[in-house]
Structure 1
């Protein structure tokens, strides 16, 4: 595994989410001891700070699809510029959001740097919703991958975020751990798919299958905490009840991914501090899980 310094970047945005809350996650994870835990696990961490907070707002009187899309895109462009600095410093990105659209900024920055990455998308869903199919719930949070792939009907402000369209192709994408129904309703995304039922029986084997999507410059891991059964670690902004992974299985999966050839960064999203108890128990548990996964082997 690579032991280059981790470049920690916070993207405190709920602009693309269902409601406010996620914008507080980067600060909450730091307060829960993220940097110290990573240090204790043997990792050097360079903190690149946070982008400008972008709290969810009611996009009124004009209703856009996706909701508040210009502000979502502006927040992502700032994150893209910050990510370029992380990559230029030679650090392995550890990006904490925020909501799922931050992956667009990561891919755009990688493309700016001339890097061709695959994506291992560890998520309770697949985020393949298209604006035209979801005018009743026009939330960009569930549309991020559709825009990375530039599927028909994608909004130009998001699909055109980076220096090329699409930012990602289906052969460089693995969906891992999802428990929601299949979202590729149009049959446009022939990606690798490893549902929660498969990952739960063999997380290391699933990791080995997933990393085959790596590009010439490796792969980045997207982790949405809604991949976890909410009853086992209640932090997800949009909970998954009874069908997700358990924390031990997720820890084994992440450890295998981080140690695989080509690992090039981790994006952690959708941990809503409002879900935690008053003692911060669950954020500390997430921090411990991340530190275990990223730890330097003895």
Structure 2
């Protein structure tokens, strides 16, 4: 059975991030050869270009928590609209962030299209922070999943982004590869959790557990901070000496995307400012994605 085409969309935004830089990630991934690499995986690729760039700014007119939340929501609503023709054409979305909040837009677009998808969240953290718990660091980038789940205290502009609230329920969510401490400090999110240590021990088993947890039809969110920064220096918010290695991440993603229910991929948090002048790390990431998406012979 032929594979569905991939629909690539860039969302060049750092509006919800800790600082500028991520808005250049989609262009850097393309410059590193992402589209030809995806084509070499044996799939037809349609490049839908980018949404409007949005660079992080330090002080919006009115200080909010999350920071600059109305602008973040504007970025996500544009991405949501841009994904409509991708899904209508039957393409599998491959969305290039930007920061992690872009997954809100992807799930909103899927809900608009009548698609009920779960989420395998491959990330060094769980992005469950709530504004009331972190007034000193009101960054939406670390609050994305809290808003997907519409946890108490989330902001209407983000939690209400799509056609329903919540956009996702905890039983359709699985956290994979995190190395940070448990973030569900209020015990509100009874999702399956597979830490980095378990993925390192057996990435194939971790993938099977994740798919069993989220059910048929799922999106894969990939934040490159799931990798040990010493093994691939790209993450916007690095973790050192812990996390996955590139070969393990390749095996994990390959097992996930080869599942019939795989319905899309978000690649987030690859900051070109972390790379060298030859884009070595971006090229390594592109090669990793090509290997993961190429069917086993």
Answer yes or no: same fold by TM over 0.5: yes
Structure 1 contact 120–176 (Cα < 8 Å) conserved: yes
Supply the RMSD in Å over aligned alpha carbons: 1.1
Answering whether residue 21 of structure 2 is matched by residue 21 of structure 1, we say yes
Q: How does 1:30-179 map to 2 (within 5 A)?
A: 30-179=30-179
How far the C-alpha of 1:116 sits from its partner, in A, is: 0.6
3-state SS of 1:108 partner: helix
**C-alpha deviation, 1:44, in angstroms:** 1.1
Match of 1:281 in 2: 280
How far off is 1:296 after superposition?
3.4
**Do the aligned partners of 2:225 and 2:236 also contact (CA within 8 Å) in 1?**
yes
1:202-258 Cα shifts (integer Å, max 9, x gaps): 000000000123345x00000000000000000000001011100000000000000
Extract unaligned runs of 5+ from structure 1: none
The whole-number CA distance in structure 2 between the counterparts of 1:29 and 1:96 is: 8
Task: Tell me how far apart the structure 2 counterparts of residues 169 and 149 of structure 1 sit (CA, whole Å).
Answer: 6
> Residue 43 of structure 1: CA displacement?
1.7
Is 2:225 the partner of 1:226? Answer: yes
CA offsets 1:137-175 (integer angstroms, 9 cap, x no match):
000000000000000000000000000000000000000
1:296 matched to which residue of 2?
295
| Counterparts of 1:69 and 1:26, CA distance in 2 | 22
Once the two structures are superposed, the pairs formed by residues 228-243 of structure 1 within 5 Å of their partners are 228-243=227-242
Q: Is residue 255 from structure 1 mapped to residue 254 from structure 2 by the alignment? A: yes
Find the aligned partners of 1:112 and 1:2 in 2 and give their Cα distance. 26
Deviations 1:170-203 (A, max 9, x none): 0000000000000000000000100001110000
Deviation at 1:59, TM superposition (A): 2.5
TM-score by length of 1: 0.98
Kept after mapping to 2: 8 A contact 1:213/1:219:
no
Distance 1:245 1:214 in 2: 22
- Residue 245 of structure 2 aligns with which residue? 246
The offset of 1:297, in angstroms, is 3.6
Give the distance between the partners of 2:281 and 2:126, measured in 1 at CA: 24
Distance (whole Å) between structure 2 residues aligned to residue 244 and residue 2 of structure 1: 34
Deviating above 4 A after TM superposition, structure 1's stretches of 4 or more consecutive aligned residues are none
**Cα distance in 2 between the residues matched to 1:63 and 1:4:** 44
Q: Deviations over 1:256-293 (max 9, x none)?
A: 00011300011000000000001110000000000111
Distance 1:165 1:25 in 2: 30
In structure 2, stretches of 5+ residues that fail to align are none
The residue that corresponds to 1:191 in the other structure is 191
- Higher mean alpha-carbon deviation, 69-78 vs 58-67, is at 58-67
The answer to whether the Cα contact below 8 Å between 1:236 and 1:270 also exists between their aligned partners in 2 is yes
Contact 1:99 1:270 survives alignment (8 Å): yes
CA distance in 1 between partners of 2:36 and 2:46 (Å) = 12
**1:25·1:272 contact (CA, 8 Å) conserved in 2?**
yes
Contact 1:118 / 1:213 at 8 angstroms: preserved in 2? Answer: no
SS at match of 2:201: coil
Contact 1:178 1:227 in 2 (8 A): yes
